[in-house]
Structure 1
Amino acid sequence: MPKPKSKKSEIVEQGETNSQLAFVSSNEENMLAGNSGHDENESANLAIILKELRDFRKDNDRIEEAEERIKEAETRIQTSEDAVAELIKLQMQLQAKVVDLESRSRRDNVRIYGVKEGSEDSAPSMNVFVERLLRENLSVPTTVELRVERAHRAVKRGFQLSGKAVNLDHDYAPDVLKKRKEYAEIKAVLKEKKIRFQTPFPAKLRVHYEGGPVLYGTAEEATSDMIKRGYAVAAVNTPNPTSLLEQIQHLSWRTVKKTGSRADRPKVPSYQEKLQVFKRQEKD
């Protein structure tokens, strides 16, 4: 039979048990306190991450909105530039028609330069003076009805009246006359060099060089070529609707044709999918 425990040994065993219980209770409190601190840190970290995600989503929404607005602005600008280009083309066509109609209406007119002011005072009327002036100085027979013929040139290019040169020319439309005046310096240089030239209608210049005739459509084109040939002429730069149209066409957006269907294009991952890489993996 086991010996009965003494009262003293019972007291010792009870003390050991109480100390063990106190140690376990202390460990549990420490573990709970540690878990509580860990949970607080996790919550704080999660709150920071959520705040960053919200900010990121707001930024992403703003960027998408800005992209949409830029796309709409580009569409409006492109439409406006296309409309301006079409209007310039239409304006050029209408201007050419107006100049042609005005030039045709002036075919029966003639301009006389160099007549001294007051020379017509002795005539009963300006009409009588002009008719007498042309008949006497151009040797026009009385049997011929006085008029300007586009098929012939005048017998004389001009004449002297009271010691002053008188020149004759067509009654050009203001637009045509302005363009023809741009050749003034070029003509002076060609006359000085004794190079033959012609000025076809409406405002062109044909120069007969030694190597053959060259036809220029504008004074700018003529001066540019003559400078290359070594002639001392000032370059002419005249703004015209064509150059403005070219500038608009160069600055305009160009639509790029997309090949393939939407299904064939590579899918761009969203920001949620990109963030999956940083997602914490739960431990088993």
Structure 2
Amino acid sequence: MAEWETVLQELRGFRQENNAHLGEIKEEIRKMNTRLDEAEDRIEKAEERILTTEDAVTEIIKLQIKLEDKLMDLESRTRRENIRIYGVPEAAERDSASMGDFVEKLLREGLALSQDELDIHIERAHRSLGPPPPSDAPPRSIVVKFLSFKTKELLLRKAWQKRGFTWNGKQVNLDHDYPPLILKKRREYADVRKILKEQQIPFQTLFPARLRVKYGDETKIYNTVVEATEDMSSRGYAVRVVKSPETALEHLKQLTWSRVRGGPGSGPANKRRDPAAGYKEKLRAFKRSSPTHKEN
């Protein structure tokens, strides 16, 4: 009996010791759950701030695009009375009193305009900004601003009808004074226009940067070089297909994620089970049944 008493005392001590350890474990689990709740709350708030910031940045990008379009339209309107003259050698105007006098003389001679036929009112004229190019490079264009839009349109029409003119052995051409961005977009069609010329397909570059092509009885208008190259490639022309570059707005949409928690009270922290339930179930699996003793 004494041995049994000793065993029972040891078991009671072991049980008390286990209860103390389990209490410590429960306290640690409670603290960990508290820290997890705080971390989840902070992560949720950070997600909300990020999503709100992304929404604001998206609206700012959309507004920037609208403002850029308006700015482009405004700059184009300020250049409505302007033309650019290409092909005039550098320093060809040095013997004239001013660039305006030189341009007027050049246009009258090149387009065969008499003094009575058209009164050219040039407000100002100058070479395009930048240092003089090397001798083997194309000369800088001449920017001319007229007082009248009608005068500018009439001169351009005459120049286009004559397909430019020759002056001192040099081919001279006239064109609109496009803003740099529009000029860049129009130059993107260079390869397309080259192929169309080789195939003898009529085309026309429309304002601001569109291309009208006539395929037999069909007339097609392309708004971008991407549309032009994709359609021409599908028609069997040997043209390099241009891919549309990814915009900042498209890149932002790819990086945006969805909210994980639907809001306060709906997150996983509020659905967590009793912290003691987990380890109780595990300990129950290892619980041994008490030994049964038969009396002799």
Q: Check if 1:251 corresponds to 2:243.
A: no
Greater displacement, 181-190 / 140-149: 140-149
Higher RCO (CA < 8 A, seq sep 6+): 2
Give the aligned partner of residue 203 of structure 1: 209
Give the aligned partner of residue 83 of structure 1: 56
Q: Check if 1:156 corresponds to 2:156.
A: no
Q: Check if 1:274 corresponds to 2:281.
A: no
Deviation at 1:194, TM superposition (A): 1.1
Give the aligned partner of residue 52 of structure 1: 25
Give the aligned partner of residue 194 of structure 1: 200
C-alpha spacing 1:183/1:87, structure 2 compared with 1 (3 Å): same
- Matched residue type, 1:251: L
C-alpha spacing 1:189/1:276, structure 2 compared with 1 (3 Å): closer
C-alpha spacing 1:161/1:102, structure 2 compared with 1 (3 Å): same
Q: Check if 1:111 corresponds to 2:111.
A: no
How many aligned positions are there?
247
Q: 2:100 aligned to 106, 127, 135, which one?
A: 127
2:26–2:276 Cα contact (<8 Å) kept? no
Greater displacement, 48-57 / 68-77: 48-57
Q: 2:222 aligned to 191, 216, 226, which one?
A: 216
1:199 is paired with a residue of what secondary structure? strand
What TM-score does the superposition give when structure 1 sets the normalisation length?
0.75
* Alpha-carbon separation, structure 1, partners of 2:30 and 2:258: 33
Deviation at 1:257, TM superposition (A): 11
* Alpha-carbon separation, structure 2, partners of 1:256 and 1:44: 42
Q: Deviations over 1:97-120 (max 9, x none)?
A: 111111101010110001122332
Indicate the structure (1 or 2) with the bigger Cα radius of gyration.
Answer: 1
1:205–1:215 Cα contact (<8 Å) kept? yes
* Alpha-carbon separation, structure 1, partners of 2:60 and 2:207: 26
Deviation at 1:171, TM superposition (A): 0.6
Deviation at 1:151, TM superposition (A): 11
Q: Deviations over 1:119-147 (max 9, x none)?
A: 32343322111111112211234232232
- Matched residue type, 2:255: L
* Alpha-carbon separation, structure 1, partners of 2:261 and 2:15: 51
Deviation at 1:273, TM superposition (A): 6.9
- Matched residue type, 1:194: Q
* Alpha-carbon separation, structure 2, partners of 1:275 and 1:239: 53
2:30–2:275 Cα contact (<8 Å) kept? no
Give the aligned partner of residue 39 of structure 1: 12
Percent identity between the two aligned chains: 44
1:160 is paired with a residue of what secondary structure? strand
- Matched residue type, 1:202: P
Deviation at 1:47, TM superposition (A): 2.7
* Alpha-carbon separation, structure 2, partners of 1:257 and 1:67: 9
2:26–2:275 Cα contact (<8 Å) kept? no
- Matched residue type, 2:170: K
1:107–1:150 Cα contact (<8 Å) kept? no
Deviation at 1:202, TM superposition (A): 1.0
1:118 is paired with a residue of what secondary structure? coil
What is the Cα-based RMSD across aligned positions, in Å?
Answer: 3.0
Greater displacement, 160-169 / 246-255: 246-255
Give the aligned partner of residue 7 of structure 1: none
1:140 is paired with a residue of what secondary structure? coil
* Alpha-carbon separation, structure 1, partners of 2:168 and 2:155: 30
* Alpha-carbon separation, structure 2, partners of 1:221 and 1:141: 45
Give the aligned partner of residue 294 of structure 2: none
1:115 is paired with a residue of what secondary structure? coil
What TM-score does the superposition give when structure 2 sets the normalisation length?
0.73
- Greater share of helix: 1
Deviation at 1:218, TM superposition (A): 1.5
2:90 is paired with a residue of what secondary structure? coil
* Alpha-carbon separation, structure 1, partners of 2:170 and 2:119: 27
- Matched residue type, 1:77: I
Q: 2:66 aligned to 76, 80, 93, which one?
A: 93
Q: Deviations over 1:184-237 (max 9, x none)?
A: 221111111111111111111111123512211222222222222222223334
1:120–1:129 Cα contact (<8 Å) kept? yes
C-alpha spacing 1:50/1:178, structure 2 compared with 1 (3 Å): same
2:29–2:275 Cα contact (<8 Å) kept? no
